[in-house]
Amino acid sequence: MPNALLISNLTKTYANNVSALSKVNLSVEQGDFFALLGSNGAGKTTMIGIVSSLLHKTSGEVSVLGLDQSTNLNQVKRMIGLMPQEFNFNPFEPIEEILINQAGYYGIDRQPARARAEVLLKRVELWDRRLNMAKSLSGGMKRRLMLARALMHEPKILILDEPSAGVDVEIRRSIWALLKELNEQGMTIILTTHYLEEAELLCRNIAILDNGQVIEQSSMKKLLAKVAQQILILESVETLPKTLPKTDFSIKRLDDNSIQVILDGISISQALSELSKKGIEIEHVRSAQNRLETLFLHLTSKGK
Amino acid sequence: MWIAYKTIVVKEILRFSRIWVQTIFPPIITTSLYLLIFGGLMGERIGDMQGVDYLHFIIPGIILMTVIQNAYANTVSSFFLAKFNHSIEELLISPVSYWVILLGYISGGVARGFTVGLGVFIAVSFFVDLKIYSIGIVLITFLLTAILFSLAGFINAVFAQSFDDISIVPTFILMPMIYLGGMFYSIEILPEFWQVLSKFNPIYYMVDSFRMGFLGSSTTDFFVSITVLVVMILVLALVAFYLLKRGVNIKT
């Protein structure tokens, strides 16, 4: 089975000589829910722009479901649905028209497009506003409109660039539910987000981009396991001494009963044994909060 | 591809129809005033031109001026706004071919040119007994003119970086060409040098053919005029297609 997306040696240098991507290799399996993380300027939007044909690549290959983008451009375009980061619809068009037009560009006639628009607009809770101009929508509503638009032609791969930016918690959860449902139905979803908990909650696999290069690609589980072993919160029933003893690993007192340890090349049992020898008995071990965020900062230049 | 083409055309027609107060109504009012003042009031003092009274002489030119301005304005504003608000990306990510995109926008320009041209024609009919010598010549000339200026508007929009850029060409190039293209006078009354120079202005051929469709007389052979128009359309269509395919000012 071919990969949903396969990127080989993808390079993009803009006309002003700014290098956005440098020999990037990336693969996303069919049916995956894939997170693409990276700080601002890391190259995520450029990569998405190239995959969705909005930008020219400088060199390298992109193939979608086994089809080379350079030689099968229209077929590749049909397979991809894009929800970009920036609003990119005509604000002076009615919402329903935006969706019907989008379907028309993919060869879907007005009648079936109208029926599909109804389903999707109801799903993203915009049906009551279907006759309003898009400019009248709030930021969150505009994002939902773009999500519905990306789904109009029933793409096999859905690319979402910051889908829940500016969306309130309740609506964000309803978007997550919709995305999970689409993924369960077999749609491959590629997501970039600044909400790392969103990636952690939704995605099975992840790649981290930094300065135009993929610095990490693995399953979310493996990645988080790696973090969980590194940063831990250790809790003791007894009150901890004000000054902690020196150890072979990084240790920080959080309060009277808990400490944070960062383990680097040392196992949890070794750490607990060392602490025990120094009079600190640990009752409970848990992984630190924001595990993905910690890893992200650790891996990217932001954390350096 | 037919559905995609139809979608773009319907979108374009709905776009200018929704803002009819800006797009359709004003040119009809302005043109009617032109005719009332230049044709009705001043025309009597000017006398005949090319064998007909001045009012009947200027009507075809003024209708065609409206067609030119509106066909141009439609594509230049629509495509520039699509670039400006990034809605052009809806088309760029879709499998619609560049020819279909171009044809869709051009058809939108032709539709607006036709709507406004017909509106002016109907408005004028209330005041003047209009006769058409050949509906075929009128329609062919209208169609080719509207296509040509829709293409010109499209190319302007591709290069435009600001709203100023979409008004510079109509103001400083299009309007002088229209006024010097024999819209208000027959080039036969000009000195020979200016007559020759006028023949380098493509608008002269359009006005001359359009006038022939109404009056049955022209200063240049109809087939020469049509050939000039067709050649210019082909050249501009290739330029517009090249710009779109290369993604000039659209893709980086």
Q: What percentage of chain A carries pLDDT values higher than 90?
A: 53
Please tell me whether the overall predicted TM-score, pTM, comes out greater than 0.95 for this model. Answer: no
The number of domains in chain B is: 1
Helix (H, G, I), strand (E, B) or coil at A38: strand
Q: Indicate the residue of B91, B93, B252 with minimum beta-carbon distance to A82.
A: B93
Q: B247 CB near a chain A CB, below 8 Å?
A: yes
Q: Which residues of A touch B (CB under 8 A)?
A: 14-15, 52-56, 73-75, 77-78, 80, 82, 84, 86-93, 97, 100-102, 104-110, 149
Which run of H or E residues covers position A13? strand A5-13
Distance between CA atoms of residues A247 and A277, nearest Å: 11
Residue B40 is given by DSSP the state: I
Phi, psi of A296 (to 5 degrees): -60, -50
Q: What is the ipTM of this complex?
A: 0.87
- Region B144-161: mean pLDDT is 95
For residue B10, the chain A residues in CB contact (below 8 A) are 104
User: Searching chain A, which residue's CA lies closest to the CA of residue B2?
Assistant: A107
Q: Indicate the residue of B11, B18, B95 with minimum beta-carbon distance to A106.
A: B95
For residue A133, the chain B residues in CB contact (below 8 A) are none
User: Is there a contact between B71 and B145 (Cβ–Cβ < 8 Å)?
Assistant: yes
In a domain, B252, yes or no: no
For residue B90, the chain A residues in CB contact (below 8 A) are 88-89, 101-102, 105, 149
- Given pLDDT bands bounded at 50, 70 and 90, which one contains residue A92? very high
Residue A304 has pLDDT above 70, yes or no: no
Q: What percentage of chain A carries pLDDT values higher than 70?
A: 93
| Mutate: best of B16, B85, B250, partner A, most A CBs <10 A | B85
User: Is there a contact between A143 and A164 (Cβ–Cβ < 8 Å)?
Assistant: yes
Give residue limits of the domains in chain A: 5-211, 225-303
Q: B246 CB near a chain A CB, below 8 Å?
A: no
At position A295, the amino acid (one-letter code) is: L
For residue B91, the chain A residues in CB contact (below 8 A) are 105
Cα–chain-centroid distance for residue B51? 26
B93/A54 Cβ within 8 A: yes
Which run of H or E residues covers position B31? helix B25-34
Residue B220 has pLDDT above 90, yes or no: no
State the architecture of A5-211 in CATH terms. 3-Layer(aba) Sandwich (3.40)
DSSP letters for A252-274: EE-SSSEEEEE-SS--HHHHHHH
Note the pLDDT of residue A273: 86
Angular region, A65: left φ>0, alpha ψ -120 to 50, beta rest: left
- Region A159-167: mean pLDDT is 84
In a domain, B222, yes or no: yes
Residues 6+ apart with CB under 8 A from B47: B53, B54
Note the pLDDT of residue A227: 63
- Region A225-230: mean pLDDT is 65
A97/B95 Cβ within 8 A: no
| Mutate: best of A54, A87, A98, A160, partner B, most B CBs <10 A | A54
A52/B86 Cβ within 8 A: no
In a domain, B212, yes or no: yes
At position B78, the amino acid (one-letter code) is: S
Range of the domain at B231: 2-246
Q: What is the mean pLDDT of chain B?
A: 90
Higher pLDDT, B89 or A297: B89
In a domain, B108, yes or no: yes
Tell me the CATH class for A225-303.
Answer: alpha beta
Range of A245-249, B151-155, B174-178 with top mean pLDDT:
B151-155
Structure confidence by residue, pLDDT tens digits, A190-204:
999 877 778 888 899
In a domain, B251, yes or no: no
Which run of H or E residues covers position B239? helix B222-246
Helix (H, G, I), strand (E, B) or coil at B49: strand
